Amino acid sequence: MKRIFSGVQPSGNLHLGNYLGAIRNFVRLQDGYECVYCVVDLHAITVWQDPAELARNTRECAATFLAAGIDPERSVIFNQSRVAAHARLAWIFNCVARLGWLNRMTQFKEKAGKQRENASVGLYVYPSLMAADILAYKATHVPVGEDQKQHLELTRDIAQKFNHDFGIEFFPLIEPLIFGEATRVMSLRDGAAKMSKSDGSEASRINLTDDADSIAHKIRRARTDPEPLPHSPDGLAGRAEAANLVGIFAALADRTAEDVLAEFGGRGFADFKPALSELAVAVLSPIAAELRRLMADPGYVDSVLAAGAERAAAIADPVLDEVHEIVGLAAR
């Protein structure tokens, strides 16, 4: 069976973008693939994390996977720092990737911003670690949101160069799986900015822990324009905030944007927002309730992570052994 790998950073406040762009797809893919889903705590520390918060967020991220419907019997759920193969392969990939490749990464530019000289080296080589995450499992398919596309292209480049340098077809060339009606959910306050955990404004995102009142409040306050909704998606051009809310509605309802606009076209946001709130609450509330239940049972979540780490290491360690042999490094 084909193998999937994907990860989510435990950097707090998992949101609707993480859910619609990634986690919901993780759940659905369990039917056709062998799935490995990772809480990428080593990625999270590329920017400062309070240690106690990081530990809590790691558990909460794993609990979110479970609450959303990832089955720990069928899929492997674990956290990255427990499986040494990730960091070890990342170092080897740091020696394969070229500076010029990393210099082109837009996520580094966005996250480092004007403080580039003060950004951690880890943030810069983040894509090498991501390539290692995936290729330590020889995964072939990687479900992610649109924002991770460039990093996956770099993973392909690293795999290709490794194979070429050592004259062996060892690593597969991965395929990104970017699908659904909301592959890039935007901020509720700014249609030009991605919905993000690190946005300073709570009103910009719907957190997966939000209760019904906060979801409704945030949707009521979401930025829009004064025009009614158009009758087809073409009419959303130049209306980023409206397009975002329609995309969210379509994704939550498992409908197309065309279909949603066939129902709401010609109507204003005073009609659309309450319908969106009702839908968002209906989809997200059961997940939030299950998440709360799981967080009250930390022993269970920790046991899932421990068992998952053993299964993950059993796949990744032999791959690393082969890599050592190919590269000429000592056997472990």
Residues assigned a catalytic role: 111, 194, 197
Helices (H), 204-268: 212-221, 240-253, 257-264
Shortest Cβ distance from residue 306 to ligand AQP (Å)? 22
Shortest Cβ distance from residue 247 to ligand AQP (Å)? 10
- Sites for ligand AQP among residues 24-83 (CB under 6 A): none
Nearer to ligand AQP, 145 or 230 (CB): 145
Shortest Cβ distance from residue 160 to ligand AQP (Å)? 22
Chosen residue from 58, 148, 207, 224 binding ligand AQP by CB under 6 A: 148
When asked if residue 144 is in the footprint of ligand AQP (CB under 6 A), the reply is yes
Q: Tell me the residue ranges of DSSP E strands in the chain.
A: 3-8, 34-39, 76-79, 141-143, 175-177
Shortest Cβ distance from residue 307 to ligand AQP (Å)? 23
When asked if residue 248 is in the footprint of ligand AQP (CB under 6 A), the reply is no
Q: What is the DSSP letter of 139?
A: -
Nearer to ligand AQP, 88 or 194 (CB): 194
Nearer to ligand AQP, 280 or 320 (CB): 280
The 165-194 contact track toward ligand AQP, x by CB under 6 A, reads: ------------------xxx--------x
Residue count of the chain? 332
At residue 132, the 3 state secondary structure works out as: helix
How many beta carbons lie within 10 A of that of residue 238, not counting itself?
Answer: 8
How many beta carbons lie within 10 A of that of residue 111, not counting itself?
Answer: 18
When asked if residue 277 is in the footprint of ligand AQP (CB under 6 A), the reply is no
When asked if residue 92 is in the footprint of ligand AQP (CB under 6 A), the reply is no
- The DSSP line for 142-203 is EE--GGGHHHHHHHHHHHHHHHHHHTS--S---EEE--SS-SSPBPSS-TTSB--TT-S-GG
When asked if residue 197 is in the footprint of ligand AQP (CB under 6 A), the reply is yes
The H or E element that residue 331 is part of is none
User: By the 8 A CB rule, do 242 and 267 touch?
Assistant: no
Nearer to ligand AQP, 208 or 320 (CB): 208
Q: Which two tokens stand for residue 116?
A: 């580039």
When asked if residue 198 is in the footprint of ligand AQP (CB under 6 A), the reply is yes
> 265: which residues sit within 8 A by CB, 6+ positions away?
228, 229, 230, 231, 232, 235
Chosen residue from 4, 5, 11, 58 binding ligand AQP by CB under 6 A: 11
Q: Which two tokens stand for residue 4?
A: 């999937």
Nearer to ligand AQP, 150 or 256 (CB): 150
Q: State how far the Cα of 131 lies from the Cα of 156, in Å rounded to an integer.
A: 8
Number of residues that bind ligand AQP (CB under 6 A): 19
Nearer to ligand AQP, 192 or 331 (CB): 192
Chosen residue from 29, 33, 41, 145 binding ligand AQP by CB under 6 A: 145
Shortest Cβ distance from residue 321 to ligand AQP (Å)? 28
Residues that bind ligand AQP (CB under 6 A): 8-9, 11, 17-18, 21-22, 144-145, 147-148, 183-185, 194-198
